[in-house]
Structure 1
């Protein structure tokens, strides 16, 4: 574990806006399609995004370069996970006796006097969502999904978070990352014949567990109609043609003194540049990223 403070750009004392970005950068920003260092492309996107906090997944050696370039405080949870913050990091959290740091860890930051807790998450990629048996009944689809470890992982995570969730009305909680599974809020009756859902309506277990724990899905809260805005975050190569998939990357939150006011997902084919706030960047990852702006009281 490595916690490195840095002198980041300070927010004005009266600002209570918090912009959080969650991104799996794909093996430290690896890409065979980019002639330079793909991590540099990721850094360019992160800088242009204006994010105050970045929940990074598949960091794999990129952490020092990203932290130095941004000038943010950062907490290296594991080779896989790292959190960067424009605001001071005042505490760090890992729970190695219950859930490994490869899967989960967090920080507490000071947002102009208001503490906020943020957690970075990676759930196992198996069973692979590309192979979901969508031609089967919902019961069989869930049995296929539940045969993996994601359900157990998220339940262990929510268990260790229980004391903090009880305090969420005083200290807001934000939890994001790569969950490697779809959401029940996306696989509805209205979308069953869209997005290659193959007629399936599925109450995916992980997202249901998050909802049961009192978390709000920030993107879906602000884009309630998945027919109009599915919010794709995952791109994979199917033969030699890129194929879009559903959301598997999320930013959840809980607390009465925090609300999401804007949320977008960004993704791009690996062979095309991403246009972001007027600039174009090579896109180095097979995951899209989620960016949610919160207002914190």
Structure 2
């Protein structure tokens, strides 16, 4: 257990750059603008892998991650009301107070600031809080895990249910090899409903902005980004020549949101930003891979923001081990992604996305 907040260790080509600093519930002023004082807001997307239950010491590892980074907002996936209650208690033991949005299922929002409104949606939840007088609506999503058709070009079924095409493969290896028909992949991806449920929160976010609030949107999408599967990567990462316009991130972008990680790290070859499957030294490799003979790495965890004159993106990086799982082997990522590596038990098979903003407060 970490009671005194330890600094994160770094790995990657820019060691020490942009280190998340320990803070207090009142963010330190950074600058002045015509819209007020600029203060740092740290936003974390965190899939906690069934509440850390798959790793010995995983529950403590979740709290240690939050206690060390001290984000202002945490978007949780694979959570539950019980797991949130446990996490809030574990954080209190570490001297930190967070509030939650009372969501009844596995996507939740934690905030260091009292939550003044909250709403649940299919596959999403919302929390509204005031950050120095500036109100922010934060949305946390965990989308359908089946129809994981990013596996088809890698020669595996994506758990598409019958009677749809490719359902006969389940999650198993495809005997005839990779399926690279982009139209088929996009059609099956659309059948997942991930984009449809996200359109609901995009409409709600537009209403929040009309009320003068800033909007943030984060989650484990179980779907890659359209920015990562284009001509630049078509012959990498077992894409097998496939270009796919993944519809959920495309819909979010079309609604005006910006992908914080890809904005700071624009090259999907040099900085792929893979968040799954992450290496985890406390878990057997068989638990960390669903396509054991493939390179299944993808960036499926995101932090999006809607541009506003009161908000500036400052940085975005990954928290977690700098290694991934490729063809059932533990490998170190060779690119230029920046990692803040844990010195405590890593509780999950994902990496955390940590994005830092400067917000104009009153």
Tell me if TM exceeds 0.5. yes
Residues 173 and 192 of structure 1, relative CA distance in 2, 3 Å threshold: same
CA 1:13 to 1:248, structure 2 compared with 1: closer, same or farther past 3 Å?
closer
2:319 counterpart of 1:266: yes
Structure 1 residue 62: Cα displacement: 1.5
Contact 2:319-2:341 at 8 Å conserved across structures: no
CA-CA distance at 1:276 after TM superposition:
7.7
Task: Report what 2:298 is aligned to.
Answer: 246
Q: Which has the larger radius of gyration?
A: 2
**CA shift digits 1:104-129 (9 cap, x unpaired):** 11111111121111111111112024
- Aligned residue number for residue 131 of structure 2: 111
Residue number in structure 1 paired with 2:141: 121
Query: Are the structure 2 counterparts of residues 200 and 278 from structure 1 closer, same or farther at C-alpha, using a change threshold of 3 Å?
Result: closer
- What per-residue deviation string (whole Å, max 9, x for no partner) do you get for residues 232-252 of structure 1? 111131577896511111000
- Are 1:66 and 2:119 matched, yes or no? no
1:296 aligns with 2:348: no
Aligned counterparts of 1:241 and 1:44: Cα–Cα separation in 2? 33
SS of 1:76's equivalent in the other structure is coil
Instruction: Find out whether 1:47 has 2:67 as its counterpart.
Output: yes
The 1:72/1:296 distance shift into structure 2, 3 A limit, reads same
Contact 2:258–2:307 (8 Å) recurs in 1: no
Is this contact kept in 1: 2:115–2:127, CA < 8 A?
Answer: yes
Q: In structure 1, the residue corresponding to 2:140 is in which secondary structure?
A: strand
Deviation (angstroms), 1:175: 0.5
* Match in the other structure for 1:19: 42
RMSD over aligned Cα, in angstroms? 2.6
How many Å separate the matches in 2 of 1:122 and 1:66?
18
CA distance in 2 between counterparts of 1:41 and 1:284 reads 5
Query: TM-score scaled by structure 1?
Result: 0.84
- 2:205 matches 1:161: yes
Structure 2: where are the runs of 5+ without partners?
Answer: 1-22, 31-38, 154-177, 278-287, 332-337
Aligned counterparts of 1:72 and 1:121: Cα–Cα separation in 2: 19
Q: Which residue of 2 aligns with 1:228?
A: 270
| Separation in 2, partners of 1:242, 1:82 | 32
CA positional deviation for 1:176: 0.3
Residue 100 of structure 2: SS of its match in structure 1?
A: strand
1:30-71 residue CA offsets vs partner (Å, 9 max, x unmatched): 21x42x3x1111111111112111111111322112112132
TM-superposition CA deviations, 1:146-174 (whole Å, max 9, x none) = 1222122112222333312444xx32100
Contact 1:184 1:208 in 2 (8 A): yes
Structure 1 gap segments, 5+ residues each: 1-7
Larger strand percent:
1
Distance in 2, matches of 1:191 and 1:88, equals 43
